[in-house]
Structure 1
Amino acid sequence: MNQNNPNNPGGEFNQGNPSPMNPYGGYPQVPNQNFPQQPGFPPGQPQGFPPMGQSPAGKNQAKGQKNTAPKKMKPRKPSNAGWVWLGILIMLVMIVGGAILGYNTAIRERKSAFNKMSVQAASEQYQFALTDIINGKLENAKTRLEYVLSVDPNYPGATEKYTELVIQLYPKETPTPFYTATPAPSATPDTRGEEEMYNTITANMAASEWETAIRNMDALRDKNLEYRSMEIDGLYYIALRNWGINLINQGYLESGIYKITLAEAFGPIDSVANNQRIAARSYLAGAGFWEINWAKALEYYSNAYLNAPNMYDQSSGYTAQQRYAEASFEYANQLVASSDFCGSITYYDQGYSIGANDAIAPTATAAYLACYPPAATSAPDVPSDIAPTMPLELSTETPFVEPTPLGK
């Protein structure tokens, strides 16, 4: 029957279906290839299609029944709170580190600019001092040379000029020998040996061989106490002063203090040498209070740092600047331990003005936050004389627009 149907040539449609078109969209039915009968499908129903009258979503369920299968639970996403807090912490560390680095860089640049200006000013003052010496203004020249030596103690020619000025301004009427020697009686003193020794001494002085010059002067005084006594006194003053400063600069603080004190017997000590001596005494006094009384140690090392920041002692090798910075940090930690957070910030800043200290940074940051806690965000204050704006009352009715006739 179906074989003679023009819409079903060859009888390729299901023999049990009187219609050649599939009721689900008009496509031809799949011929039965003797697949096993699946449950839920009536006999003769094409395999792979849901039963007639049943939706594809419920092909294994009877009509009207509810799906009682348990729903699958979606897995919970892991929380990102830990990463958020880690990011905030990293940003805070970067902000604090950047602030410290920027502060130290600014301090170094400012010091470098100040040093350049000071060197230029020292050069000008030295030339002015030479002019004052030529014009006989010795006191004015002395003040200018003191400034030059305070900027650069090794400025070429400044020390020698200053020493000559001091000898001219404060001459000694009688020599002050180190030794009381009784010269051998001689009718006609032979000064050839003394002259040769004196020339050797001046050569030593020109070569800055202070220790050798002093030994030769002692030998000359032993041979002839009266030979060029005033000039030898001046040379003693120059050699002892400069030797004492050199010893202090080499870390032999006690010996340097002693030599400068000996030079004071031949004339008043200039401000440069005296400042070196005071700084050396302060350094040694601060070392006596180290790790015992940080407040006292900081007091003495601040004086040494201001006068000679690069001064050091041979026993430890630490400079006055390093001692000053470390004493500032330690005293600040002591104030933090006594809950004086705001007082400690000044001394932390002192230490950080010289150099960074990673070990101190967490404590310094905590002290700063304890002294200056972050302010809570609050609503802005509204002036009382400003009246609040009343809300506008808008009509909810739709306005009627008269239609315009076509053709006009």
Structure 2
Amino acid sequence: MSETTESTQPMKAQKNPRRKRFWITLLGFFIIIALGVFGGYNSGITVRTDAEATQISASLGVEFERGAIALAEGRYDHARQHFEYIVQHDVSYPGAAEGMAEAILGMSFTATPVPTLTPTLTPTPDMRGVEAIFANAEALINAGDWANAVAALDQLRKEDPSYRTAEVDGMYYFSLRQNGYDKITKEGDLEGGIYFLTLAERFGPLDSTANNMRGNARLYITAATFWEINWEQAVNYFGQLASFAPNIWDGASNQTAGQRHYYALMRYGDQLYNKNNDACGAYAQYSNALAYGALDEVAAKNSKKAYEICYPPTATPEPTAIIIVDTPTETPTTP
């Protein structure tokens, strides 16, 4: 009976330990492969990124070297292109901004090696002799007609290079110095002013006023190279200039260094707020711009939002109710 009962019971499936180990081993194998592939992928990305950074750095070094060579050889347009490429990829690359500014100056000098003069600036040949030409140059200097004075002195030197050499050199220096100074301060012709002051320096060292003015003009040109390209650097350079020469101006834009600094502060604030998500940094730029005047519509809108993010209102604590409990007093009993 028991044998019959046992034979009618279902048989329990026997587990195969070898098959179980096989699947576990296979799963582990695939996990190892997956981890290896993932690690290799990340490693490949890192290697590629590092390689690209190294390649860009090497490329910038080559561009700087080529720009320096072109600058030394007087090929200013080529030099500008090399330095401009560097600034677009790494604005803080040492010497790139200065090289670009120098190339731009060189281009302006190359384009006009002889100053552009109005028809009255070229005197007609004077046949009265060197004495008369000398007297005419003196009269032009006394009248403050610097460009015509230089033209008269050029004619005098052409007629007789040895005539009153020391005096003529002094007249050259004074006329060129004054012409360069006036071009910067009165005409906003920064490149032209630098050019004439540099010519004056051939006849003697510049005085501190003229030399400082030339330095300010160069700094303005350097700052302008970052205009609408890198607002952070525009703020940096125009901020420096605005601190000691806010009224130096550029005839092309008809804006002073102070005005440029004011506008650059607002645009840099917009950049920090909209692109960099730096509300506090943006608000700092807007606050500095307010020192010059009211913000424009875009900056004012962003400034308000930046302030709310950077200085959120603090929650006002709810007043705590004070419950006054009257303490009963005992009524004294009369004995």
Band the TM-score falls in, shorter-chain normalisation? 0.5 to 0.7
Conserved in 2, the CA contact under 8 Å of 1:276 and 1:307? no
Residue number in structure 2 paired with 1:393: 327
Alignment of 1:233-382 (within 5 A): 233-249=169-185, 250-337=187-274, 338-359=276-297, 360-378=299-317
Once the two structures are TM-superposed, the CA of residue 356 in structure 1 deviates from its matched residue by: 1.0
In the aligned structure 1, how far is the partner of 2:330 from the partner of 2:315? 43
Once the two structures are TM-superposed, the CA of residue 221 in structure 1 deviates from its matched residue by: 1.2
In the aligned structure 2, how far is the partner of 1:243 from the partner of 1:303? 26
Name the % identity.
41
Q: Which amino acid aligns with 2:287?
A: D
Alignment of 1:117-196 (within 5 A): 193-196=129-132
Task: Indicate the SS of the match to 1:291.
Answer: coil
Task: Indicate the SS of the match to 1:376.
Answer: coil
Runs of 5+ unmatched residues, structure 2: 1-127
Residues 71-105 of structure 1 deviation map (CA, whole Å, 9 limit, x = unaligned)? xxxxxxxxxxxxxxxxxxxxxxxxxxxxxxxxxxx
Conserved in 2, the CA contact under 8 Å of 1:279 and 1:307? no
In the aligned structure 2, how far is the partner of 1:331 from the partner of 1:272? 33
Alignment CA distance shift 1:369-1:245 (3 Å)? same
Alignment CA distance shift 1:268-1:306 (3 Å)? farther
Task: Indicate the SS of the match to 1:203.
Answer: helix
Residue number in structure 1 paired with 2:24: none
Larger radius of gyration: 1
Once the two structures are TM-superposed, the CA of residue 218 in structure 1 deviates from its matched residue by: 0.9
Conserved in 2, the CA contact under 8 Å of 1:280 and 1:304? no
In the aligned structure 2, how far is the partner of 1:226 from the partner of 1:334? 62
Alignment CA distance shift 1:376-1:389 (3 Å)? closer
Q: Which amino acid aligns with 1:194?
A: V
In the aligned structure 1, how far is the partner of 2:136 from the partner of 2:198? 25
Residues 24-77 of structure 1 deviation map (CA, whole Å, 9 limit, x = unaligned)? xxxxxxxxxxxxxxxxxxxxxxxxxxxxxxxxxxxxxxxxxxxxxxxxxxxxxx
In the aligned structure 2, how far is the partner of 1:288 from the partner of 1:358? 23
Once the two structures are TM-superposed, the CA of residue 379 in structure 1 deviates from its matched residue by: 7.1
Q: Which amino acid aligns with 1:330?
A: R
TM-score, normalization: structure 1?
0.45
Conserved in 1, the CA contact under 8 Å of 2:147 and 2:179? yes
In the aligned structure 2, how far is the partner of 1:323 from the partner of 1:391? 69
In the aligned structure 2, how far is the partner of 1:198 from the partner of 1:306? 43
TM-score, normalization: structure 2?
0.54
Task: Indicate the SS of the match to 2:250.
Answer: coil
Task: Indicate the SS of the match to 1:212.
Answer: helix
Alignment CA distance shift 1:346-1:237 (3 Å)? farther
Residue number in structure 2 paired with 1:42: none
Higher helix share: 2
Once the two structures are TM-superposed, the CA of residue 307 in structure 1 deviates from its matched residue by: 4.3
Q: Which moved more, 1:217-226 or 1:299-308?
A: 299-308
Residue number in structure 1 paired with 2:120: none
Q: 1:210 aligns with which of 121, 146, 151?
A: 146
Once the two structures are TM-superposed, the CA of residue 389 in structure 1 deviates from its matched residue by: 12
Conserved in 2, the CA contact under 8 Å of 1:328 and 1:351? yes
